[in-house]
A and B are shown apart, each in its own frame.
Chain A
Amino acid sequence: MRAAIALLLLFTALPGFAGKTPRIVTVAENYLELRTGPGRGYPVFHTAESGETVEVLKQRTGWYKVRTRRDIDGWVSRADLAKTRETDGELVQVDVIELGDVVEHRWRAGFSTGDFGGANVLTVLGGYNFTNNLSIELSFAQATGPFAENVLATASLVHQFVPERRLTPFFSLTGGLVRTDPSATLVQTEDRTDQVAAAGAGVRAWITRRFVFRAEYRNYVVFTSRDDNQEIDEWKAGFTFFF
């Protein structure tokens, strides 16, 4: 639940996605196909003629809802909209993320799952890109194991190499807090909160624009109040979305 709320907050904290697409565009090709819905499966029911102006109302994923001068509403693909012209005759610049061009879309959110020192771990994360290579990432993780439950809140600096490649490696440095709740069946244990630091590495693979698969390894050091520190290996994989 906590993780779900964290994810919700993360999503709602994101700024509105403001594209650069103009409101009024002119059909420059022979015609512009209007579909009944925002998807390739919906039928074409109307075409706007060359030279006709249409008003762009809104966007959903790769589709734009337009209204013709005769008040007919329909959905146009991003590729088709990119062939229309602005009122000054320029080709319309639709909002397209090139691979690795994350600076235009600085925010990301995602989740991953894996193994945290023998426990199942679930992580939600949000990130912000300073440059195409460097970003900060906040994550919130819950690890449920047979003997204890851990909750981690961490911040990481992430450096990714060759961001324009479909497959890019990255390194991360992490600091944060971990709370450990030993299983109720184990007697005479106490909940405790410790500082934690980690170094990690992983890869990101673009599936489509705005949608990325990632897999990573982190080596955590838990600064316990006992004599020696505890080391935990974490392996996880998940998905990230760019906004």
Chain B
Amino acid sequence: MESRLHVLLLSALPWLLLAGPSGAADDSDDDDRQLSVIQPELERREIDPPAIDSEDFELGVFGGVMSIEDFGSNTVTGLRFSYHVTESFFGEAAYGRTDAGKTSYEILSGAANLLTDEQREYSYYSLSIGYNVLPGELFVGRRRALGAALYFVAGVGNTSFAGEDQFTLNFGAGARVLFTDWLAAHIDVRDQVFDSDLLGESKTTHNIGLHIGLTGFF
């Protein structure tokens, strides 16, 4: 309020000085002048019906290490696509693939292979809801600050492994660091949980991936 008052008084000053010598002008004239002073000079531009570009989508790739229960760890690569609904919530679709290694039994026995090479292909997709927590800035040196947030995700999906499709739950957490408005790096951990009877008895398996990723907003 104070600054507005200052602007008003200061900008009114030259008019008052000009108006001073000419004596008492009539009231309506005075009002007009006052008004023209208060109104800021606006740039009148011809603008098309403007469409503000919205950047609520995020698409990117990730890579990392995935540990498949009983079948060792291997590199995993994948794609990730998010839609940011609000500053807190986002929906995410992801696809990843890796290859299963050998079980301890297969290694120790020497020859007994439980799965063919084709069956060792492991791929999954997931549909998740994410929630951003602790948004803020990371300071890099003295002059740079990067936007960052931690997030939690949980969702459902499907895993194709050993020639079978398995309904899969996934949970995870990650950190997103924005290098620019649109370019972000991720570090995250996901646990893919599904029931498997591959080794005889049915059990719940946890398959944990550690990923780094690069995404762009558009």
Q: Chain A residues near B30: list those with CB within 8 A.
A: none
Please, how many angstroms separate the alpha-carbon atoms of A145 and B40 in the complex? 69
**A23/B47 in contact, CB under 8 A:** yes
Interface membership of A195, Cβ < 8 A: no
Cα distance A40–B81 when bound, in Å? 24
Interface flag for A59 (CB, 8 Å): yes
For window 48-72 of chain A, which residues contact chain B by CB distance below 8 Å?
49-53, 56-65
Bitwise, B40-83 to A at CB < 8 A (1) or not (0) is 10111101011111111100000000000000000000000101
Query: Chain B residue with minimal CB distance to A38?
Result: B87
Q: Which residue of B lies closest to A65 (CB)?
A: B181
A interface, size bucket:
35 or more
Tell me whether A122 is interfacial, beta carbon within 8 Å. yes
Interface string of A1-42 (1 = CB under 8 A from B): 101100110010000111111111010001100001111111
In-complex Cβ contact of A23 among B50, B57, B134 (8 A)? B50
Whether the Cβ atoms of A42 and B56 lie closer than 8 Å is no
Q: What residues of A have a CB within 8 angstroms of the CB of B87 in the complex?
A: 38-40, 60-63
Question: Closest CB-CB distance, A6 to chain B, in whole Å?
Answer: 10
Number of interface residues of B (CB under 8 A): 54
Q: Is B153 an interface residue (CB 8 A)?
A: no
A19 touches B86 (CB 8 A): no
On whether the beta carbons of B85 and A241 are closer than 8 Å, the reply is: yes
Per the bound structure, the CA–CA distance linking A189 and B141 in Å amounts to 65
Is A158 close to B, CB under 8 A?
A: no
Q: Which of A4, A23, A56, A60 contacts B93 (CB 8 A)?
A: A4
Q: What separation, in Å, do the CA atoms of A142 and B125 have in the docked complex?
A: 12
Q: Say whether B1 faces chain A, with CB atoms less than 8 Å apart.
A: yes
State which of B127, B135, B149 has its C-beta within 8 Å of the C-beta of A122: B127
Residues of B within 8 A of A64 (CB): 52
B137-154 vs A, Cβ < 8 Å mask (1 yes, 0 no): 100000001010100000
Cα–Cα distance between A90 and B122 once the two chains are bound (Å): 58
Q: Is the C-beta of A154 less than 8 angstroms from some C-beta in chain B?
A: no
Answer whether residue A102 sits at the interface, using C-beta atoms and an 8 A cutoff: no
* B171 interface contact, C-beta 8 A: no
Most buried by B among A42, A43, A64, A109: A42
Could you give, for residues 154-180 of chain B, a 1 whenever the CB lies within 8 Å of some chain A CB and a 0 otherwise?
Answer: 001110100111110000000000100
Could you tell me if A50 and B85 are in contact, using CB atoms closer than 8 angstroms? no
| CA–CA, A40 and B87, complex, Å | 8
How many Å lie between the Cα of A238 and that of B125 in the bound state? 16
Once A41-B136, A208-B86 are accepted as A-B contacts, the answer to whether A122 and B156 lie under 8 Å apart by CB is yes
B49, B85, B123, B160: the one within 8 Å of A61 (CB): B85
- Convert A192-232 into 0s and 1s, putting 1 for each residue whose CB lies closer than 8 angstroms to a CB of B: 00000000000000011111000000000000000000000
Please indicate the chain B residues that have their CB under 8 angstroms from the CB of A19 in the complex.
Answer: 51-52, 54
> Are the C-beta atoms of B4 and A30 separated by less than 8 Å?
yes
Whether B147 and A42, one on each chain, are in contact in the complex, defined by CB atoms closer than 8 angstroms, is: yes
- Residue of B whose beta carbon sits closest to that of A30: B1
Q: Quick check: A210 and B42 within 8 Å, CB to CB?
A: no
Residue contact A37 to B178, C-beta cutoff 8 Å? yes
- In Å, the complex CA distance between A40 and B134 comes to 10
| Distance, CA A149 to CA B84, complexed state (A) | 32
Known: A38-B87, A58-B54, A211-B86. 15 other contacts (CB 8 A): A3-B158, A17-B54, A37-B178, A39-B87, A39-B149, A42-B137, A52-B40, A58-B55, A62-B87, A63-B87, A122-B127, A144-B165, A144-B167, A207-B89, A239-B129
Which residues of B are interface residues toward A (Cβ below 8 A)? 1, 3-4, 7, 40, 42-45, 47, 49-57, 81, 83-87, 89, 91, 93-95, 123, 125, 127, 129, 132, 134-137, 145, 147, 149, 156-158, 160, 163-167, 178, 181, 217
Can you list 20 A-B contacts with CB-CB less than 8 angstroms, sorted by A residue number? A1-B160, A18-B51, A19-B52, A20-B49, A21-B52, A36-B145, A36-B147, A38-B87, A39-B132, A41-B136, A43-B137, A50-B7, A58-B55, A58-B181, A60-B54, A61-B56, A87-B44, A111-B91, A184-B164, A209-B86
